[in-house]
């Protein structure tokens, strides 16, 4: 299968917005498919190749890995001013409304930059299918443009909720302009349910996962220190402090006095440093300013319990639990998780302490400490890896290709 994956964020961007499509592109290439990952260029860098020369690169590319096609937007001063906040309130509102109504989105500069590449993509690469992940509507605009030019179907992926990104008065109008998508994938079942309000296509949840190689990593040797690892953003300050309060109370009141080490790994390291006073004298504290993903995976496997702060929002699904399942260690989160996540945890025989109060956090740490048993090597875990979810996606794209 020859597939074009489209995402706004460049695969080398150090942000979660780049992860999903990059990982699935590599999974598909490993499965023997030819994949072009089309994105915007990184920062102010030029396009990765000119439209005139991209056909030659397609012919010479080693398709055991994805081909990264990054395209620089054509300058548009109004859109640039909009993004950096240089437009006044009224002007900003009018520009947003005009661009959505007449250009179907706010990244027409990138769409215009991509237009010259549609011909070599259609005539040389000749895609069988297009999969485009919504971060803004121009991703889908480019997918529709290429679909028409290449005469192949496209599938819409919605990893961000429609009503969180599209102005309230334009949601139905703009959604109606993407009826040509033959199927829709979503980040979770809750994202799917939200999308049902706006889109009529059949839909399938495709979870962002973890590399299945992590499941084969041997148990990491460690000393007698009990390690509590907090990974990721802390989001709300009050939630973080409630979590720390619960950890501090558990440390103060526990019967066992063997040493405990609290480790934080994430981008909020300065905020975490500023909020650690209650742990002073109760345990060792180690704040990681930066960890390579390989080192983070080792730390998660070595930890005795993995923890995270969950973002409370209208649309609740959080990818962090799936990421941490691969470590095969107990997981504790605060605030409480949603039913969808809890069901996934149960299906994989992992252990999750879903905490809604400081008392729950205390009880969760105590229960995890007293029940230090090795997690089952449940084969269901592989289903939630990138590779496992790629097999589900492969079937969807194959069916979309055949049925169109």
What's the pLDDT band for 378 if we cut at 50, 70, 90? low
Alpha carbon of 271 to those of 227, 235, 268: distances in Å?
Answer: 20, 10, 5
In this structure, are 181 and 227 located in the same domain? Answer: no
In this structure, are 152 and 269 located in the same domain? Answer: no
Q: CB within 8 A of 341, min separation 6: which ones?
A: 317, 318, 321, 322, 352
Asked whether residue 271 carries a pLDDT value surpassing 70, the answer given is: yes
For the chain, the average pLDDT equals: 93
In this structure, are 171 and 71 located in the same domain? Answer: yes
Mean predicted confidence (pLDDT) in 186-192: 94
In this structure, are 323 and 190 located in the same domain? Answer: no
Q: Which helix or strand (DSSP H or E) is residue 397 part of?
A: helix 386-403
What's the pLDDT band for 285 if we cut at 50, 70, 90? very high
In this structure, are 329 and 265 located in the same domain? Answer: yes
- The domain of 16 spans 2-209+386-403
In this structure, are 171 and 300 located in the same domain? Answer: no
Please return the burial class of 381, using the count of CB atoms within 10 Å of its CB with bins 0-12, 13-18 and 19+: buried
Model pTM? 0.92
Tens-place pLDDT, residues 110-135: 999 999 999 999 999 999 999 999 99
pLDDT at 374: 55
In this structure, are 52 and 77 located in the same domain? Answer: yes
Tell me how many domains the chain contains: 2
135 close to 104: Cβ distance less than 8 angstroms: no
In this structure, are 368 and 289 located in the same domain? Answer: yes
- CATH number where 121 lies: 3.40.50.2000
In this structure, are 205 and 266 located in the same domain? Answer: no
Q: Looking at per-residue confidence, does 164 or 376 come out higher? A: 164
Asked whether residue 156 carries a pLDDT value surpassing 90, the answer given is: yes
Q: Are strands 183-186 and 203-205 parallel, antiparallel or unpaired?
A: parallel
pLDDT at 221: 66
In this structure, are 297 and 225 located in the same domain? Answer: yes
In this structure, are 253 and 311 located in the same domain? Answer: yes
Asked whether residue 308 carries a pLDDT value surpassing 80, the answer given is: yes
pLDDT at 297: 87
In this structure, are 195 and 273 located in the same domain? Answer: no
Where is mean pLDDT largest: 243-247, 274-278, 336-340? 243-247
């Amino acid at each position: 299968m020859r597939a074009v994956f489209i995402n706004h964020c460049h695969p080398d961007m150090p942000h979660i917005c780049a992860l999903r499509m990059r990982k699935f592109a590599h999974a598909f290439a490993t499965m023997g498919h030819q994949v072009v990952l089309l994105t915007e260029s990184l920062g102010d860098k030029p396009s990765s190749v000119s439209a005139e020369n991209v056909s030659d690169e397609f012919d010479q590319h080693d398709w055991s890995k994805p081909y990264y096609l990054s395209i620089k937007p054509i300058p548009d001063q109004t859109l640039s001013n909009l993004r950096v906040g240089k437009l006044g309130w009224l002007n900003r509102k009018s520009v947003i409304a005009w661009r959505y109504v007449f250009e179907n989105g706010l990244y027409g500069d990138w769409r215009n930059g991509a237009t010259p590449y549609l011909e070599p993509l259609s005539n040389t690469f000749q895609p069988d299918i297009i999969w485009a992940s919504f971060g803004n509507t121009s991703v889908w605009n480019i997918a529709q443009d290429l679909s028409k030019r290449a005469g192949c179907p496209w599938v819409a992926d919605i990893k961000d909720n429609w009503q969180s990104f599209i102005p309230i008065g334009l949601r139905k109008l703009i959604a109606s302009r993407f009826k040509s998508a033959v199927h829709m994938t979503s980040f979770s079942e809750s994202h799917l349910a939200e999308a049902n309000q706006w889109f009529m296509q059949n839909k399938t949840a495709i979870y962002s996962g973890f590399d299945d190689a992590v499941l084969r990593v041997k148990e990491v040797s460690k000393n007698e220190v009990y390690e509590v690892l907090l990974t990721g953003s802390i989001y709300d300050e009050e939630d973080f402090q409630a979590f720390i309060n619960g950890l501090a109370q558990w440390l103060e009141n526990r019967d066992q006095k063997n040493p405990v080490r609290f480790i934080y790994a994430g981008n909020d390291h300065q905020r975490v440093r500023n909020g650690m006073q209650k742990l002073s004298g109760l345990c060792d504290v180690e704040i990681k300013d930066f960890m390579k993903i390989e080192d983070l995976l080792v730390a998660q496997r070595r930890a005795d319990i993995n923890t995270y702060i969950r973002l409370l929002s209208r649309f609740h699904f959080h990818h962090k639990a799936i990421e941490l399942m691969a470590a095969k260690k107990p997981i504790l989160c605060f605030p409480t998780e949603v039913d969808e996540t809890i069901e996934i945890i149960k299906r994989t025989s992992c252990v999750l302490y879903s905490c809604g109060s400081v008392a729950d956090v205390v009880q969760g740490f105590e229960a995890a400490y007293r029940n230090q048993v090795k997690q089952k090597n449940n084969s269901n875990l592989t289903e939630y890896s990138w590779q496992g979810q790629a097999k589900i996606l492969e079937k969807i794209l194959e069916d979309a290709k055949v049925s169109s």
